A and B are shown apart, each in its own frame.
Chain A
Amino acid sequence: MKVHIKSAHLIDPLKQQDMVTDVLIVNGLIEKIGKKVTSDSSFEEIKLNNKILAPGFIDMHVHLREPGFEHKETIETGCAAAAAGGFTAVCCMPNTEPAIDDESVVRYVQERGKQVLGGIVDVYPVAAATKGRKGEELAPIAELAKAGAVALSDDGSPISNAEIMRRLFEYSSMYGLPVIQHAEEVTMTKGGLINEGFTSTRLGMPGIPPIAEEIMVNRDIIILRYVNSAKYHVAHVSTLGTLECIKRAKKEKLNLTCEVTPHHFTLTEEMLSTFDTNLKVNPPLRTVQDVTSIKEGLKDGTIDVIASDHAPHTIDEKEVEFSVAPFGMIGLETAVGLAITELVHKGYLTLSQLIEKFSTNPRRILSLPPILIEEGQKANFTIIDPDKEWIVDVEKFKSKSKNSPFQNHKLKGRAIGIINNGRMYLSIDET
């Protein structure tokens, strides 16, 4: 593999670089960076015309569904969706069957990641925090860490028991693994379908109160203050109240970070009037005030990461009564487009800040090696056209499932390719 990238607008938040340059890549390594580099005919030329070249993006919250739910997604189709969406790496959640609560499953998932699509997408498993994700006994954390798990989570289910959470913080801190919490006080959310408030009252739907999330995050922060060697990461923050308490805890210099999904900064609960089951997600879509506070939280740095919570479900599973449909929507192939449309073009984030939330920050949280854009280093890049206007068409998506409420949405900005592990993927209609 020999590539000559011409006229790239390189943005590297780590080195605070922002310049138009050429890059030569040979066998997966950066051979040369510079304005006037020359190459021979053995190089494939990619003319970027000032489009963005960024350190490779990682989506630290996806559900690849393998093993166990291959009818929804496989590691292969999930990685194809990641590549098409501009991600050179994904972290897959452990709510598989069997759960990723054993080193053999960690190894299986990693191995499959290396096998599919020539290994262009790095697959980093998040292991279960407790055995079988039941919240009762600690999973074999040392073994899971050794096998390559990058974080611990019972995602989908919260770690409800405070004693287990405390011990999990203590034990995981020995191995430096962050604990990712799906924050939900389940005694308050039983039967809940959508955010509790005016819309749930209007539609007669059982509500999920925002305080169910806030209580859990507050409790975890109290435990974290007590076990301050741990690393705590809040998944898919959805409310103003959660952000306020994360902001306060960050001022205390506690070791906590958080992520938000594109749907939680794009969509609001009013849209549920259609009873579209693709809008049924957990945590639920919240109010305009919550959406505004999330955008502000991204801007002021309270929110570290944008992650999709890519949750594939088949059409048959979703085309049912609202109360019966499973929670979740796919997101790998719309995340970057939504983030550029809603955050960059609307002035909440600069492109450099966007790259931090998709690359630099999640890699730091997960203790993955930073992507160094230097001669001699591995080439790990995401290519973006921030002004590309496109219309979402799920039929063109690589993901096996099509459960996106963004069908036919008009977006401005899109990832158009990735380079990683000596391979390159470019969206067909772009170069």
Chain B
Amino acid sequence: MKLKSRHLLGLEGMTKEEIELILDTAKSFKEVLERPIKKVPPLQGKTIVNLFFESSTRTRISFELAERRLSADVVNFTVVGSSVAKGETLKDTARNIEAMKVDMVVIRHSSPGAPHFLSRVVKANVINAGDGAHEHPTQALLDMMTLREKFGRLENLHVCIVGDITHSRVARSNIYGLKTMGARVSVCGPKTLIPKDIEKFGVGVYYNLEEVIPQVDVLNVLRIQLERQKSGLFPSLREYHRYFGVTREKMQFATKPIVIMHPGPINRDVELSADLADGPHSVVLEQVTNGVAVRMAVLYLLGTTTIVENEVH
């Protein structure tokens, strides 16, 4: 079995079989990561560029490790801010890089749809490493991998995504992926950070953690950006922590052990209390480990598929 697309632009529209293929492949790569020699040859001779237009540490390092462990040649290109501000368009940047015979492009960009645009102007495989508030498919894949390890399944798990849903690509990719895999998804956060018509995705909407905690298996806690407070979306970090921060106090409403996830980096004692972040229910570090395995799987599946010559773009 193969993936249907040459690119990984998002999880929306991806089938259950495709997601399972990626997660199963990631599982075998995770075994590779446990070996003393962690390098395998499938992408030998392939060149991958990591095109990051937004600052990111862990996602970029995770991709880079995944690329190197598959024996690819790696180039990093980081420009903070838009390429236009630099005086060169994204299209020109991408085409120039492609002229240097690059096989795959991993892109992170603040503008939703930037990877889709790129996939139309270059021949390389494009992998979305986060586009604005749209999608972050590899993050959702690593989240699902982690949950599958913990629970042995994704069907009928109840996952609640907590925090700033409006501005979160992690939330969207998780909703698309988890719904496809048969999980139950809810969101919880202040009304000002829940986007319009979110219920049309078939997700539950809660404005009170104490109400949702008794029902869930998993809390996926999102990072809250201080700038949202400045733009008037919530009154203060103190109030946010008090009502939407995941704390031991609120966890007392749980009726069963709850797994706590966070895509990182954590604002300790804002959206997630420090003791919970480091506690036994947290799978934050497993998520990071699985991130490398999942990215290896995606790169492997896209990079080893024969590219059809003369494909019309």
Contacts and interface: CB of A to CB of B under 8 A. Distances in A.
Interface of A: 193, 196-198, 200-207, 209, 274-275, 316, 319-324
B231 to A, nearest CB: 9
B196 A201 contact: yes
B184 interface: no
Given A321-B111, A322-B112, A201 B198 contact: yes
A204 B112 contact: yes
Most buried by B among A205, A274, A321, A324: A321
B200 A320 contact: no
B233 to A, nearest CB: 12
Interface in B73-126: 82, 84, 89-91, 109-114, 116-117, 121
Most buried by B among A203, A207, A209, A319: A203
A205 B110 CA distance: 11
Contacts of B82: 321, 324
Interface in B119-144: 121, 131-135
A321 B109 contact: yes
Nearest to B131: A204
B197 A204 contact: no
Given A205-B112, A321-B109, A322-B112, 20 more contacts: A193-B112, A197-B196, A198-B196, A198-B197, A201-B195, A202-B12, A202-B201, A204-B134, A205-B132, A205-B133, A205-B134, A207-B195, A275-B116, A275-B117, A316-B89, A320-B84, A320-B89, A322-B113, A323-B112, A323-B132
A198 B203 CA distance: 13
A320 B84 CA distance: 9
A141 to B, nearest CB: 37
B113, B121, B133, B200 interface centre (most CB from chain A within 10 Å) = B113
B133 A204 contact: yes
B172 interface: yes
A193 B133 CA distance: 13
Interface in B166-202: 169, 172, 195-198, 200-201
Contacts of B135: 204
A203 B197 contact: no
A146 to B, nearest CB: 42
Nearest to B171: A204
Contacts of A205: 112, 132-134
B77 to A, nearest CB: 16
A360 to B, nearest CB: 40
A151 B117 CA distance: 40
10 contacts: A193-B112, A201-B195, A201-B198, A202-B201, A204-B134, A205-B134, A320-B84, A321-B109, A321-B113, A324-B82
A197 B197 contact: yes
B20 to A, nearest CB: 24
Most buried by A among B90, B116, B195, B201: B195
Given A203-B113, A204-B131, A275-B117, A319 B196 contact: no
Given A204-B169, A205-B112, A275-B112, A321 B133 contact: no
Contact of B197 (A201, A275, A316, A324): A201
A204 B172 contact: yes
A319 B91 contact: yes
Nearest to B110: A323
Nearest to B133: A204
Kindly list the 9 A-B residue pairs having the minimum CB-CB distance in the complex, ordered from nearest. A275-B113, A204-B134, A204-B133, A321-B111, A323-B111, A201-B195, A198-B197, A322-B113, A204-B112
A324 B111 contact: yes
A419 B116 CA distance: 46
A324 B134 contact: no
B89 A319 contact: yes
B199 to A, nearest CB: 10
B73 to A, nearest CB: 27
B44 to A, nearest CB: 33
Contact of A322 (B91, B117, B172, B196): B117
A275 to B, nearest CB: 3
B232 to A, nearest CB: 10
B117 A321 contact: yes
Nearest to B118: A321
Interface in B194-221: 195-198, 200-201
Contacts of A324: 82, 84, 111
A205 B167 CA distance: 9
A321 B107 CA distance: 13
Interface in B136-171: 169
Given A204-B132, A204-B133, A316-B89, A322 B111 contact: yes
Nearest to A324: B84
Contacts of A200: 195-196
Contacts of A321: 82, 84, 90, 109, 111, 113-114, 117
